[in-house]
Structure formats: structure tokens, C-alpha cells
Amino acid sequence: MDVWDGSSSVRASGAQRAPDRIDWDENVKQVAAAQTAVNVNITDIGTNLSDIGTNVTDIGTNVTGISDNVTAIGLNTSAIGVLEGTEGTPEVVTGLVITESGTDALRKTVFTFTSVELSSTDGTVAGTDGAWAALKLYEFPAGVKIVESSSFLFDLAENNAGADGFTATADFDIGLGSVASAQATAFGLATTQSDYNEATVALTGSTSTADTDTNVIPTIKDGVDLYLNLRTIEDTDHGTTAGLIEVTGVATVLWRVDDSIDAATTTDIATVQASVVTNTSDIGTNVTDIGTNVTDIANALAGINANATHTVGAVTSKTGLTVAELGDGAMHKTVLTLTAVAMASTDATTDGARTTQELYTFPEGHIIILAAHAVFDLGDIVATTGGDDGYSDAANLGIGVGTVAANAGTGLDGTEEDICTEMDVNLTSKASDAEAAVAQATSAVYDGSTSAIKAILNTSTLGDGDHGANPDTLTVTGTITIVWTTIGDDA
């Protein structure tokens, strides 16, 4: 017989008995057990809630830390972008405009003159002391400076306004120097009065045009000032009263301060980046986004700029030829990649066989090529036909990069290889049997002001037996890297 539980809903369900002492004892035990379980669960729930609170606090701390680190990186990036302390101080001169470009690694300062007046003083002693003039243009930041190159191109006009100053046919030196010219028993400029650039001017009818000088030999300079200086060549070039020369044109100086890269700032940034990586490991999905941002910032700090478009040249449209431009307004790196670029050969009987392919056209103006490198791996140079109708299967040839297309003759020389000097290539079974590579870092200036300078890939066989009478095709795979800058155009 069932025990009645005291509810009215089961009262009429059949015969039932009242609960006895044993039933009540059992019920008490069950209730006590249930209460114990509830107490344990409540304690566990409290502990879990406390753990969740701790985790939320930790996540908040990590997020704050990441935010602080990203802010710090932003501040460091901003500080580097400002280039504090690397720009000089221009002088205020009527008709003179000074523009700056570049980075801490290399700066370009351009001086544009429009009828800038250079006032002269006659020497104290006639016959031994030349007339002179000096005009301060610029004050570099303190510290040792390395001047990579400097140049000027001036048009000059004597404008004495009837005074007895410069003669209409005066001869004089004009130059850029770190020390101002002054009264001296001397004619012409010397030493630090023209240690950047110097040109000798001969006026004709009171004017002279296209007076220019370019210096591409890196020099170390301790002085901070830059002057435009002048001194006559003979006593008869100038009278006893003050004279006046008007200067129009452009001067360019590429330079850097020896300690321009702040090592402490670089170390701080690296430490902050490491902290960001550590903190982001606790954040889950945010790690990916922050990691991407940190990578972008790191690339910017490293000076990577794949979108450098300041005064770049133009790559030739050719199947298999691509270009990557790196750098800024002061310095460029042009990376040319060749993938099976086809070059048709022309036989010149006893003068060998040659191929030539224009790769790149620099912007118009004076170009300084600072360094160049070329590499062609084993098997990257292949004769398509071979078998003596064109190239022999074991032909020997030279390959290089120049500013002029290869002419008839065995091997390359002169301007056919003045960017990357000739490398010897030996074919075995119609393919190059070893790596060919060359690197050179001798600065050279090229005048592309009338016709833009080109980079041309040239090849030439080394002997008459290396090529038959029929045309053939070389396919070339490799990489050519050119580091260069432009210092202005005569136009």
C-alpha cells in the first residue's frame, strides 16, 4: 500500500496509509542531502564567478597594456617621421627658396636662386688682393656631416648700375663653401671657400650662362655653415667701388648627419613591440588585428616604402620584365626582375654576335648612380636554337648593363657596361653553366638633361666561333638592382 504524501491530488487514487516514523526519517535524510548539495553548488558558483571576474580584470589589463603600447609605437613613429634635428636652418635671402626632402639616412637640400644679389668688396691692395663677395645660405645641424654629393647650375649677370665694380668681361671664381670668403692677398677661391663646388666664370657682355660644377666624392665636414662665395681672377676684373652680381639657378646638396639614427629610440620601439606580442596572446581574436597593425608599424619604422613614386623612371614594356621601386625623394632603389626575357642576336661575322635590350629610362636630368648589382643563376641564360646555326652549344659571351646599346665587336666595353660591368658566361648544352654576378659601388654622374639616361642589358660573344651566321635568341632570367638619385635638370 502506498504512503499518502499529504497532497489532495492523490487523495482519491486508492487505498493509502499514513506515513510512519521510518518514512519521516527517510524524508529528513533526503532533504538534508539536498540542502548539502545546494550549499556545495552555491560555493562552487561563487568561486567560478570570482574567477570570471579575475579573468575579465586580466583581459581589461591586457587590453589597456596593448592600447598603451600601440600608443607608444604611434608616438615613436611620429617622432621618427618628424625627423627632429636633421634639417638645417635656412637664411632669409631675397630671391632664395630652400626645399628639403629625404629621411634621416639621406637628405636633399635644394637651393633655388631667382636674381639673388651678391654684393662685392674690392681688395685692399691693388694688384694683389682680388675683389670678393660672400652670402650665407644655410646652417646645418650640429655634428659631423657626410656630404654625398653637391652641384650647382647658375646664370650670372653683372649689375653695377653704372658704378665702377665688375667689368663687363670680368673673370671670377664662384663656389659653395663652408667658410665665407673675405679680404685676402689672393685671386680666385681656395680650400674651404669652395670645398663643396667651384666654377670659373667669364662674363661676356656682362652675363654668363650655364656655369656649373658637380662633386660626387663623399666628404666629411665639421662646419655647420654654407656660403655662396666669389673672388675675381685678376685685378682688372673689378674697380675700386662695390659691385653686384645677380645669381639665378639651382644648387643641390645631398648630406646626412653621422649620428642621425637614434639607437635609443630604435631599442625602445623593439621593446614595445615585444610587449605587444606578449599581451596579445591572451586576447583571442584581437591578436590577429593587433599583430597586423604591429607589422605595418614595424615596416614603416624600417623605412620600407613600396609606393615610392618621387621622380622615378619608366620600365620598358617587355614580356618577362617587371620593376619594383623603393626609396623616397632623395634616394631610389630600382629592382628589375627578368623572367625568360627574349633577346634576339645579330651576327657581325668576325666581330662577334650581340644582343641588346632596353630595360629602364631614368627621369630627365643629372643622374648619380651610387651602386648597382646583377645576378644570373646557373642555367638562367639559354640559347634557344644553338647547334652552330646561331649560338654554338658551348658559346662564350659577356653580359653587362650599360647606358648605350652594344655595338659590333667581341666583348663589351665603355658605356656598354658602365652600370654593371661585363660578366663572362659560358654555355654548356646551350645553357649557362655557372652563376654570373657583379656588384659595384663607384658613384658616377650621368648627364640626362638633354636626353634621359637609359639602362640597357647588353651581351656580346667573346669569339667568332661562338655564333653562326643565322640569328638566334637568348632568354635571360635574373635580377638587376640600381641605387640612384637625381640632382636636378638643366631645363
pLDDT tens, position by position, 287-324: 566 566 656 555 554 444 444 445 689 999 999 999 99
Shared domain check, 344 and 232: no
Share of the chain above pLDDT 70, in %: 72
Q: Is residue 194 part of a domain?
A: yes
At 162-178, the pLDDT tens digits run: 678 999 999 999 999 99
| Same domain flag for 253 and 394 | no
Of the ranges 2-16, 52-66, 378-392, which is most confident?
378-392
Contact between residue 49 and residue 55 where contact means Cβ atoms under 8 Å apart? no
Amino acid 61: pLDDT? 73
12-41 pLDDT, tens digit each: 556 666 666 666 666 667 666 666 766 666
Higher pLDDT, residue 396 or 218: 396
Co-location of 250 and 357 in the same domain: no
Domain final residue pick, 239, 257, 275: 257
| Boundary-marking domain end, from 225, 241, 257 | 257
**How much is the mean pLDDT over the chain?**
82
Read off the pLDDT band of 83 (50, 70, 90). very low
- Determine the average pLDDT of the residues in 329-358: 91
* Pair (234, 329) in one structural domain: no
Summarised one tens digit per residue, pLDDT across range 381-392 is: 999 886 657 899
State whether 251 and 344 are in the same domain.
no
Question: Are 242 and 325 contained in the same domain?
Answer: no
Domain end marker among 235, 257, 279: 257
Q: Are residues 337 and 249 in the same domain?
A: no
pLDDT of residue 81: 41
Q: Are 353 and 230 found together in one domain?
A: no
Answer whether 0.75 is exceeded by the pTM: no
Q: Report the number of distinct structural domains present in the chain.
A: 2
Q: What is the pLDDT of residue 421?
A: 95
pLDDT for 143-153, tens place per residue? 778 898 999 99
Residue 43: pLDDT band (50, 70, 90) is: confident
**pLDDT on residue 287:** 52
Domain region containing 422: 314-486
Q: Span 222-235, mean pLDDT?
A: 93
Most confident among 107-111, 218-222, 264-268, 442-446 (mean pLDDT): 107-111
**Shared domain check, 343 and 433:** yes
Does residue 160 register a pLDDT over 80?
yes
CATH number of residue 242's parent domain: 2.60.120
Buried b (16+ CB within 10 A) or exposed e, 131-154: bbbbbebbebeeeebebbbbbbbb
Whether residues 237 and 379 fall in one domain: no
